[in-house]
Chains A and B, each alone.
Chain A
Amino acid sequence: MISVKKVNNKPLNLLERIYLWEIARGLLVTTGHFFTNLFNPAGILTVPYPEKTIPLPGNAKFRTRHRLKLRSDGSPKCVACFLCQTACPAYCIHIEAAEYTENSVEKYPAVFDIDLSRCVVCGMCVEACPEDAIAMDTEELPGGALGRGELLLNKESLLRNLPGEPSLLGASNRLAGEYLKSRGER
């Protein structure tokens, strides 16, 4: 059964049916925008991404670019369990596991790549992670790059946090650097 909804459109009056006045009104709006923007280009809302970005509003709980968290000793929390790779609907995560020789946790990711050009920013990897090792809280929107290479995040770029981050993350940033250096992977 198709439900029918009657819409009573207001019949057009003569001025509207002649259409010219309505066209003129429309032109007024668009020329208004045209001249406003012509003489005040700074007021244009469009941002030339990716050179320029706008800060995300407020205490944003957006899913943004991934990062790998670190333990207090500076080693990555990730144990290469492959659950994020399994959960990923876009097949954008590539992990290769390796073994620590002396650490109490045996397994770590030797390779951890995220292909942002494939990523659909669904956050499934974060949900799946049993170690709370991957997070999407860098507040950096993934996807804007001038080349495909820039969209491939490897372990290093995932471990190193962003400049201008809060001090706690800055500390882990430093630890990540030292850790990578100590492993000669930098």
Chain B
Amino acid sequence: MPTITIDGKSLEVAKGTTLLEAAQQLGVYIPRYCYHPKLSIAGNCRMCLVEVEKAPKLMTACSTEAFEGMVVHTASDRVKAARRDVLEYLLINHPLDCPICDQAGECGLQDYYMDYSLAKSRFSQADKVRRQKRRAVGPQLVLDNERCILCTRCVRFCSEVTKTSELCVVERGDHSFIDLKEGKALDNDYTLNIADICPVGAFTSRDFRFKQRVWFLKKTPTVCLGCATGCLIEAHHNENTIYRLVPRPNAETNTWLCDPGRLTYKAVQAGDRLVKGVIKNGLIDLEPALREAAARIDEARAAVAVLGSPWLSVEDNAALALLAKDALKTGNYCFDFNTEQGIKDGILINKDPAPNTNGVKLVKAAHGGLSLEELSRRITSGQVKVVLAEARAAGFIKDALKAAAPRLIAFASNRGEIPAGSYATLPYASYFEVPGTFLNYQGLRRRTAPSVEAPEGVKPLWAVINKLAAYSGTSLRLDSADEALKGVRS
């Protein structure tokens, strides 16, 4: 356990700790471009140079291991001069693209220039090296080689994290640039992480491109509901529109975020977003749609089947259970989902596409219910006249619905989700708009936070169920999502 001194403060660190990590433990920030905690160490950007006593030259903090008795200075004049010079070197050929560059506002060059340099340029703009700009690499990314500072984070990401090795540095010396390997396309499921880790504007997201300047974005920590992995994410939004999702690195679940997960926000503001009820195929206002659905439920009462959904939060599933048990007093309800779980590709994407399979189990434990097969059997046998189900969960009993064709009342947030042959569809607020509790595949409790407001009139699902119960004759008297959780172990 070597003890080192950084800027006058002593610290004992584990063997093998680098100076940069040690400084981080002390709260001393050392600027870096190529260093990334989850990638191998390259030591090529030279931004993290620090002065080590008795060493003749400055050392790169990211790649120098701490040894007993090291005395490190991170803010000496030599270090400051080195940082200024490294920045000048990096900026010699960097284009003046800031006004059109999406990275502006969260750009390593901008930030470090303001923090460590502020020197006037000694090079003419006309002499800057021209390289290929705006090259679409893969479905998600645009590469601008002029802006690249060759930190190789992207190359290392592709070879170490996704192990697909699409990118490489070609040519040598000052001719070198980032390129795709021959015959490869940058189309793995994690490419958008490259836009995140790129410290400059060389890789930018095609989806986010020119949509919004980053300094306008407000950040809400929430959870990705793309699969059972339940990655922690941050929704970046402004004026009631979500513009992008980025990962919130954490030890338990994720450092990165997959591309499909990043695009889940699109459904919230998609054109087919449901803001009205649907009866058969016609849009009608929410109130009459609710009353119509309630009337059909009231007709059937005990012949109603209620199906929970692993796509819904624990609260909303509990509310569905209360509707079946307390309001309709039917035995035909099912909260039994046993999809196989586990990381599919070794990185993040789960075998279970639904985010809350584990959460529904809590509801089942509290309220019981039929198994999925038993429910399907009862539907097929014609005992059930009306089925209430979340749109995607209705897929579990697809065959039974097809066979017996009961009236299907579905809950959906987008028109595209509505299952074929559904009698009525009621909209509910997305979990980007209302809070909800989810249990990921590890059994960790994940809670979404609303980052935008639901379209006018669209209510959380528990409130829709509450109204449905009241209109069909038995009020559940739910005033909040938490009230639905009565009896559910959380």
The residues of A with any CB-CB pair to B shorter than 8 Å are 79-83, 86, 97-99, 105-107, 130-131
Contact = CB atoms under 8 A, between A and B. Distances in A.
A84 B99 CA distance: 11
6 contacts: A83-B99, A86-B215, A99-B209, A106-B100, A106-B133, A107-B210
B100 A105 contact: yes
A107 B213 contact: no
A106 B216 contact: no
The interface centre, meaning the residue of B98, B99, B215 with most chain A CB atoms within 10 A of its CB, is: B99
A130 to B, nearest CB: 5
B114 to A, nearest CB: 15
B98 A99 contact: no
A79 B101 CA distance: 10
B134 interface: yes
A77 to B, nearest CB: 10
Contacts of A106: 100, 133-134
Nearest to A104: B133
B216 A107 contact: no
Nearest to B97: A106
A16 B291 CA distance: 85
A182 B436 CA distance: 51
B206 to A, nearest CB: 10
Nearest to B133: A106
Interface range, B side: 10 to 19
A97 B102 CA distance: 11
A99 B100 CA distance: 10
Contacts of A97: 210-211
Contacts of B99: 79, 81, 83, 107, 130-131
B100 A79 contact: yes
A147 B99 CA distance: 34
Interface in B409-429: none
Interface of B: 98-100, 104, 133-134, 209-211, 213, 215-216
A83 B215 CA distance: 10
Given A86-B215, A106-B133, A106-B134, A80 B98 contact: no
Given A81-B99, A81-B213, A106-B133, 16 more contacts: A80-B100, A80-B210, A81-B100, A81-B104, A82-B213, A82-B216, A83-B99, A86-B213, A86-B215, A97-B210, A98-B210, A99-B210, A106-B100, A106-B134, A107-B99, A130-B99
B30 to A, nearest CB: 30
Contacts of B133: 106
Nearest to A131: B99
Nearest to A105: B100
A139 to B, nearest CB: 27
Contacts of B211: 97
Contacts of B104: 81
Nearest to B144: A106
Nearest to B206: A99
A55 to B, nearest CB: 35
Contacts of B98: 81, 130
B204 to A, nearest CB: 10
Contacts of B134: 106
Contacts of A80: 100, 210
Nearest to A133: B99
Contacts of A130: 98-99
A152 to B, nearest CB: 18
A79 to B, nearest CB: 5
Nearest to B100: A107
A131 B98 CA distance: 11
Nearest to B99: A81
Contacts of B216: 82, 86
Nearest to A130: B99
Contacts of A79: 99-100
A83 B216 CA distance: 11
Contacts of B213: 81-82, 86
A82 to B, nearest CB: 4
A72 to B, nearest CB: 17
A52 B99 CA distance: 40
B368 to A, nearest CB: 53
Q: Which 4 A-B pairs have the closest CB atoms?
A: A81-B99, A97-B210, A107-B100, A82-B213
A105 B213 CA distance: 17
Contacts of A105: 100
A41 B100 CA distance: 56
Contacts of A99: 209-210
A81 B159 CA distance: 34
A82 B133 CA distance: 21
Contacts of A82: 213, 216
